[in-house]
Amino acid sequence: MTAPTAADTESVQPLAAVPARSGRAGLVWRRFRRNKFAMVGLVGLVLLFLFAFLGPLLTHWSPTDIDLVNTQSGPTGDHLFGTDDVGHDMFAQTVNGMQKSLIIGLLVALLSTGSAGLLGTAAAYFGGWWEKVIVWLTDLFLVVPSLLMLIILSPYFQGTSWLVLVPMIALFSWMITSRVVRGMTLTIREREFVRAARYMGVPAWTIIARHIIPNISSILIVDFTLNVGAAIVTESFLSFLGFGIRTPNVSLGTVINDGAQFASTDQWYLFVFPASVLVLIILCVNFIGDGLRDALDPNSTGASAR
Amino acid sequence: MGAFIVRRLLNYVVLVFVATSLAYLGAATAFHPKDMYLQKNPPTPAVVMYHELNERNDNPDKPVLERYAHWVDGVAHGDFGQTWQLDSVSKHFSISVWVTVRLVTVAAVISAVAGILIGSFQAVRQYKFSDHAITFGSYIIFAMPVFVLAPLLKLVAVQVNKAVGGNTPLLQYQGEIDPDATGFWGQLFSRADHLLLPTISLSLGLIAFYSRYQRGQMLDVLGSDFLRTARAKGLSKTRAILKHGVRTAVIPVMTLVTYSTILTFAGAIITERVFGWNGLGSWFTDATNHSDVNSVAVITLFSAVLVLIAGMLSDIITAVLDPRVRL
Contact B143 A152 (CB under 8 A): no
Residue B72 lies in a domain: yes
Which of B47, B76, B105 terminates a domain? The answer is: B76
Which of B44, B76, B108 terminates a domain? The answer is: B76
- B197 and B309 part of one domain: yes
Is any Cβ of chain A less than 8 angstroms from the Cβ of B303? Answer: yes
Number of A–B residue contacts, CB under 8 Å: 122
What domain range is B249 assigned to? 92-321
User: What is the pLDDT at residue A234?
Assistant: 93
Q: Which residues of B touch A256 (CB under 8 A)?
A: 147-148, 151
Contact between residue B84 and residue B319 where contact means Cβ atoms under 8 Å apart: no
b/e per residue, A257-292, with b = 16+ CB within 10 A? bbbbebbbeebbbbbbbbbebbbbbbbbbbbbbbbb
Contact between residue B119 and residue B214 where contact means Cβ atoms under 8 Å apart: yes
User: What is the pLDDT at residue A20?
Assistant: 52
CB atoms within 10 A of CB B249: 25
A residues 263-282 closer than 8 Å to B (CB): 263-265, 268, 271-272, 275, 278-280, 282
- Residue B51, classed as helix, strand or coil, is helix
Q: Out of B18, B270, B299, name the one closest to residue A148 (CB).
A: B299
Residue B13 lies in a domain: yes
- B125 and B180 part of one domain: yes
- B157 and B70 part of one domain: no
A56 vs chain B: nearest CA distance in angstroms? 24
Residue B307 lies in a domain: yes
For chain A, residues with pLDDT lower than 50 are: 1-18, 302-306
According to DSSP, the residues that pair with B82 across neighbouring strands are: B88
Residue B85 lies in a domain: no
Contact between residue B50 and residue B65 where contact means Cβ atoms under 8 Å apart: no
Residue B11 lies in a domain: yes
**Rounded to whole angstroms, how far apart are CA atoms A206 and A216?**
15
A residues 285-304 closer than 8 Å to B (CB): 286-287
A211 vs chain B: nearest CA distance in angstroms? 31
Q: Which residues of A touch B145 (CB under 8 A)?
A: 233, 236-237, 278, 282
User: What is the pLDDT at residue B45?
Assistant: 83
- B234 and B136 part of one domain: yes
**Rounded to whole angstroms, how far apart are CA atoms A10 and A14?**
8
Q: Name every residue whose Cβ is closer than 8 Å to that of residue A21 and which is 6 or more positions away in sequence.
A: A29
User: What is the pLDDT at residue A109?
Assistant: 95
B5 vs chain A: nearest CA distance in angstroms? 17
- B40 and B177 part of one domain: no
Q: Name every residue whose Cβ is closer than 8 Å to that of residue B70 and which is 6 or more positions away in sequence.
A: B57
Side-chain half-sphere exposure of B284, counting CA atoms within 13 A: 33
- B20 and B137 part of one domain: no
Contacts 24+ apart (CB under 8 A), A48-54: A48/A98, A48/A102, A48/A277, A48/A280, A48/A281, A48/A284, A49/A102, A51/A95, A51/A98, A52/A95, A52/A98, A52/A99, A52/A102, A53/A99
Total residue length of chain A: 306
B residues 263-292 closer than 8 Å to A (CB): 266-267, 269-270, 273-274, 284-285, 288-289, 291
- B163 and B298 part of one domain: yes
- B127 and B235 part of one domain: yes
Residue B192 lies in a domain: yes
Cα Rg for chain B, rounded, in angstroms?
Answer: 24
User: What is the pLDDT at residue A6?
Assistant: 45
- B155 and B204 part of one domain: yes
Question: If chain B, 327 residues long, is cut into consecutive pieces of 10 residues, what is the mean pLDDT of each piece?
Answer: 78 89 91 83 82 83 89 89 86 92 92 94 91 92 92 90 81 83 85 91 93 90 88 89 87 85 79 90 91 91 87 79 67
Residue B81 lies in a domain: no
Number of domains in chain B: 2
**Rounded to whole angstroms, how far apart are CA atoms A225 and A216?**
15
The backbone torsions φ and ψ at residue A268, rounded to the nearest 5 degrees and listed phi first, read -60, -25
Residue B84 lies in a domain: no
Contact B154 A154 (CB under 8 A): no
CA-based nearest residue to A7, from A196, A182, A215, A208: A215
Average pLDDT along chain B: 87
Best residue in A149, A151, A152 for a mutation probing chain B (most B CBs within 10 Å): A152
Q: Which residues of A touch B147 (CB under 8 A)?
A: 236-237, 240, 253, 256-257, 260
CATH of the domain at B135: 1.10.3720.10
- B55 and B100 part of one domain: no
**Rounded to whole angstroms, how far apart are CA atoms B233 and B66?**
71
- B148 and B123 part of one domain: yes
Q: Which residues of B touch A152 (CB under 8 A)?
A: 23, 26-27, 30, 288, 296, 300
Is any Cβ of chain B less than 8 angstroms from the Cβ of A257? Answer: yes
Q: Out of B19, B144, B155, name the one closest to residue A279 (CB).
A: B144
- B41 and B114 part of one domain: no
Q: What is the pTM of this model?
A: 0.86
Which of B76, B107, B128 terminates a domain? The answer is: B76
Contact A283 B274 (CB under 8 A): no
Cα angle B110, B115, B116; round to 5:
110
